[in-house]
Amino acid sequence: MSTGAAGQVPPSGRTQVAVLGGGLLGMTLALRLAERGFSVTLLDAAPAPGGLAGAQTIGGYSWDSFYHVLLLSDRNTRALIDELGLGSLVRWGRTRTGFFSDGAMHSMSNTVEFLRFPPLSLIDKLRLGGTIFLASRLRDARRLERELATDWLRRWSGPRVLERIWLPLLRSKLGENWRIASAAFIWAIIARMYAARRSGLKEEMFGYIEGGYSQVLAALTQRLQAAGVSLFHGVPASAIHDRGHGVELTMADGGTLAFDRLVATVPTPAFAALCPQLDAAERERLGAVVYQGVVCSTLLTRRALSPYYVTNITDPGIALTGVIEMTALVDRAHFGGHSLVYLPRYLAQDDPAWSRSDADFERDAIESLRRMHPHFEAADIVDFKVARARHVLAIPTLDYTDRAMPPLATSMPHVTLLNSAQIAQGTLNVNETLGVIEQRLPALLQRLQAAS
Ligand SMILES: Cc1cc2nc3c(=O)[nH]c(=O)nc-3n(C[C@H](O)[C@H](O)[C@H](O)COP(=O)(O)OP(=O)(O)OC[C@H]3O[C@@H](n4cnc5c(N)ncnc54)[C@H](O)[C@@H]3O)c2cc1C
């Protein structure tokens, strides 16, 4: 991509908007803006589209770098899939959940199994069930932002359930950041878990798209091209300046581009680093958003590990925080009869594990899986990949909405921020990410149209 001199606004008469960041949020937003008559350019640092929803090739098969499932209640995601004409590619299936606890695997996939779950006493189970029920009934989670997740859970579930169930689960989702998460986080997790469980025996139901999320990305790319959006990948930006009459975007190759307006959909720390003109108060607020990262190993294996889509690990002797067996949901025929397994490890920004090599993660994976599944052998592995993402989820910390959530508007009149850190009292998923667009589009359009 060649970049030109700053200040040259293309002479089309339509407002020229740059959308910086080509994940699902940036791509969908670019489409919505093009549909409303803006001249849109989408720019992304990565060589391929989709950000966290992008694909990798493993053992010759293409599937998501990070595992994704749909819920029946994912209204925004399903509407987008239908809009793109991909509704017929969605498959739904019942899945099971395992718990690896005290050196043994337990199924906890429905109410009966929950009642039989040996690591907890009957009183513990009643308190755990009561906590989940209470959270599922709470409609206003805003007040839960005032209390730490661990304090709230200790109060409702008791210290033993906190130790044995909630803390391992919090660690598996948040790494060391479990210490700073508010009770709103646990509420959002329970609400999503609950939504995945159908009535009756409360069995879990998930969906996926045949071919993975790359099908959505390909269809969105086509739609964007048809709507006249200019798409550029592999073009990292290094600075954003508001020049009074418009925006100057400096690219890592030193070139500059000029636009009337810019909407950034990049993670909050990346945005703060790109904008030297932000004032001290804005910088402080943006700096208050604490991000969680993930290192996610993917294995293609000759044999299935288990019947569980998710295995939660509450056994401190295992170096993994969870196992996601995608082929417990997706037909193994998609992978030549092999099993596709993800091993996510969620990390705080300062975790020393960021510097570990792919080989280190592979060693951990083999050792842990052999302890969990005695039939598993290293020779079963057909291919092994490691994907890393530093800025995945903005942790819902205490008073997150009032204290830390980044506002749409910035002190740079032509520059706006729209990203997943603006999800209120939720957890990160595509549905909530698309919800950010739905909720904020009217305010964004006003800002884009405002004369300056
Ligand atoms: C392990 C994991 C599991 C998940 N599981 C599910 C699931 O089961 N179901 C579900 O619905 N969701 C799931 N998600 C969440 C889902 O992937 C996200 O909600 C969604 O992809 C977020 O999209 P985004 O556009 O907001 O962010 P991103 O995808 O992070 O996009 C941001 C983009 O900004 C670009 N960028 C950053 N800096 C610059 C720069 N300087 N210049 C140019 N571009 C830049 C990046 O390259 C990136 O493409 C999961 C995510 C992870 C990581």
pLDDT digits (tens, 9 = 90+) for 265-304: 999 999 999 999 999 999 999 999 999 999 999 999 999 9
Distance between CA 408 and CA 385 in Å, rounded?
36
Which pLDDT score is estimated for 231? 98
Which of 305, 292, 293 has the alpha carbon at shortest distance from 365?
305
Cα dihedral: 198, 204, 210, 211 (round 10): 150
Which pLDDT score is estimated for 66? 98
> Quick check: 5 pLDDT over 60?
no
Nearest residue (by CA) to ligand 1, atom 33, is: 21
Which of 425, 428, 363, 360 has the alpha carbon at shortest distance from 396?
425
Instruction: Give the model's confidence band at 198: pLDDT under 50 very low, under 70 low, under 90 confident, else very high.
Output: low
Atom index in ligand 1 nearest the CA of residue 432 equals 19
**Beta carbon of 269 within 6 Å of any ligand 1 atom:** no
> Quick check: 4 pLDDT over 50?
no
Q: What is the CATH number of domain 69-94+205-211+291-394?
A: 3.90.660.20
Nearest residue (by CA) to ligand 1, atom 2, is: 66
Which pLDDT score is estimated for 117? 75
Domain residue limits, the chain: 16-52+214-289+406-449, 69-94+205-211+291-394, 110-202
- The predicted model gives 297-320 an average pLDDT of 91
> Quick check: 10 pLDDT over 50?
no
Nearest 5°: the CA angle 185, 428, 426 is 40
Which of 245, 263, 264 has the alpha carbon at shortest distance from 36?
263
The preferred substitution site among 81, 428, 436, 439 for testing ligand 1, maximizing ligand atoms within 8 Å of CB, is: 428
Which pLDDT score is estimated for 339? 98
**Beta carbon of 69 within 6 Å of any ligand 1 atom:** yes
170 versus 282: the higher-pLDDT residue is: 282
16-52+214-289+406-449: which CATH architecture?
A: 3-Layer(bba) Sandwich (3.50)
CB–CB of 340/333 below 8 Å? no
**Beta carbon of 291 within 6 Å of any ligand 1 atom:** no
Nearest residue (by CA) to ligand 1, atom 7, is: 68
What's the mean pLDDT when you consider all of the chain? 92
The preferred substitution site among 25, 27, 44, 52 for testing ligand 1, maximizing ligand atoms within 8 Å of CB, is: 52
Which pLDDT score is estimated for 265? 98
Which pLDDT score is estimated for 165? 84
pLDDT digits (tens, 9 = 90+) for 404-413: 999 999 999 9
Of 7-21, 32-46, 277-291, 300-314, the one with minimum mean pLDDT is 7-21
- The predicted model gives 80-89 an average pLDDT of 98
Phi, psi angles (nearest 5°) of residue 112: -65, -45
| Cβ partners under 8 Å of residue 365, min gap 6 | 297, 299, 320, 343, 384
Nearest residue (by CA) to ligand 1, atom 6, is: 68
Atom index in ligand 1 nearest the CA of residue 69 equals 8
Nearest 5°: the CA angle 125, 129, 135 is 150
- The predicted model gives 115-123 an average pLDDT of 80
Given the structure tokens 């850190």, which residue do they identify?
421
Query: How many angstroms separate the alpha carbon of residue 423 from the centre of ligand 1?
Result: 13
**Sign, Cα dihedral of 173, 175, 178, 180:** negative
Nearest residue (by CA) to ligand 1, atom 49, is: 51
Query: How many angstroms separate the alpha carbon of residue 268 from the centre of ligand 1?
Result: 12
Q: Is the pTM of this model over 0.75?
A: yes
**Beta carbon of 364 within 6 Å of any ligand 1 atom:** no
First to last CA, the chain: 29
Atom index in ligand 1 nearest the CA of residue 235 equals 43
Of 190-194, 247-251, 260-264, the one with minimum mean pLDDT is 190-194
Which pLDDT score is estimated for 435? 97
Which pLDDT score is estimated for 112? 72
**Beta carbon of 46 within 6 Å of any ligand 1 atom:** yes
**Beta carbon of 433 within 6 Å of any ligand 1 atom:** yes
- The predicted model gives 349-373 an average pLDDT of 95
**Beta carbon of 296 within 6 Å of any ligand 1 atom:** yes
Report CA 442 to chain centroid distance, whole Å: 24
> Quick check: 251 pLDDT over 90?
yes
Atom index in ligand 1 nearest the CA of residue 52 equals 29
Instruction: Give the model's confidence band at 379: pLDDT under 50 very low, under 70 low, under 90 confident, else very high.
Output: very high
The preferred substitution site among 81, 250, 266 for testing ligand 1, maximizing ligand atoms within 8 Å of CB, is: 266
Of 25-34, 161-170, 402-411, 432-441, the one with minimum mean pLDDT is 161-170
Atom index in ligand 1 nearest the CA of residue 24 equals 25
Nearest 5°: the CA angle 341, 53, 367 is 25
Instruction: Give the model's confidence band at 202: pLDDT under 50 very low, under 70 low, under 90 confident, else very high.
Output: low
161 versus 193: the higher-pLDDT residue is: 161
- The predicted model gives 318-344 an average pLDDT of 94
pLDDT digits (tens, 9 = 90+) for 215-250: 999 999 999 999 999 999 999 999 999 999 999 999
Which pLDDT score is estimated for 293? 96
Query: Exposed, middle or buried: residue 452 (CB in 10 Å: 0-12, 13-18, 19+)?
Result: exposed
